[in-house]
Structure formats: C-alpha cells, structure tokens
Amino acid sequence: MSRSFLTTTLSVLGLAVGLGIVTAPMTGLVSAGPTSTRIATIDLERTLYDTPAGKRASEAFDKTRKAKQSELDKKQKDLQKAAAELDKQAAILKPDVLAQKKGVLEKQFVELQQVYVKLERSLAEERTKLVQDLLKKAGPIIEEIAKSEGVDIVIDQSAVLWAVPTVDLTAKLNARMK
C-alpha cells in the first residue's frame, strides 16, 4: 500500500511541476525582460468646450438642440391649453363627448411623449457624431503628442477613476486644436 501511495504522490508532484512550467509564463514568473506601458489621458469634454473647433461644434449642437426644444415646448403648451379648455367645458359637455375629447387629448399626449423620446434619441446621436467628428480632427494630433511624449496608450479621462495630473495631455492637445 505504501508503494501505491508513493507512486500517486510522485504523479501529483510531477503534474504540479508540469503545471508550474506551463503556467509560469502566464503568471509573469518567467519574463523576457522588463516592459513598461506608458498611459496618458485626455479630457475630451474640455477639448470640446475649450478649443475653437470644439466651441464651433458645441454652438452648432446647442442651436439645433434649442430649436428642437422650442418645437417640443410649443407642442406641450398647445396640449396644456387644450386640456385647460376641456376642463372648462367639462361641466357643459355631454359625457360621451367629454370622453371622446379626453381620448383625443390622451392620444395627443402619447404622441407628444413619442416626439420627446425621438428628440432625445436624435440629440444623443448628434452629440455622438459631434464627438466623433472632433476625434477625427484630434486623432492625428493625439498620435503626434503621444509619440513625442513616449506614450503607448491614450484614454479619455472620463474612463479613468484616478490618475496623476502629469499623465494628462489635454492642455497639449487643446493648444494645437483650431
């Protein structure tokens, strides 16, 4: 019985040593040499609001947003006005006519909510396009700055929980954005 125990123990040890050799490169125990990755951040929101290119894009977006909001506000006021008018007439209208008019107002309210959802979606898409257009302009500049600074990866600051201020390249990017 001691012989099979010894054989089993040796097999387990052999498996453990074999696994150690296989997993060592994955765990970093065996290394080809020191490597360091330099990471920097850029605050695209600041670039969007602080640079001439960003300001122009933001102003165009705000103009579109205000126009759409104005249209939505007008529809909402019209609906409120119609509801107030119906409330005034409620006492003199026949119940079936009142119910019909309330049904029409409810339908208009649902339509207004749908317009609002579409407006929000449209504005979100326009905002995304605005940031993408800014990134197209900033991309080559970011690449040049990263290369000159010896940086391997640049991340938007909104995705970073904490970083030392020295890794922030926003000021260098904003100085070059026109």
Q: What is the pTM (predicted TM-score) of this model?
A: 0.62
Greater confidence (15 vs 123) lies with: 123
Burial status of residue 40 (CB atoms within 10 A of its CB: 0-12, 13-18, 19 or more)? buried
Q: What is the pLDDT of residue 131?
A: 86
Question: If DSSP codes are grouped into helix, strand and coil, which group holds residue 93?
Answer: coil
Among left, alpha and beta (phi > 0; psi -120 to 50; other), residue 164 is beta
Per-residue pLDDT band for 34 (boundaries 50, 70, 90) equals: low
Is the CB of residue 57 less than 8 Å from the CB of residue 134?
yes
**What are residue 153's DSSP bridge partners?**
39
Tell me what the mean pLDDT of segment 126-130 comes to. Answer: 90
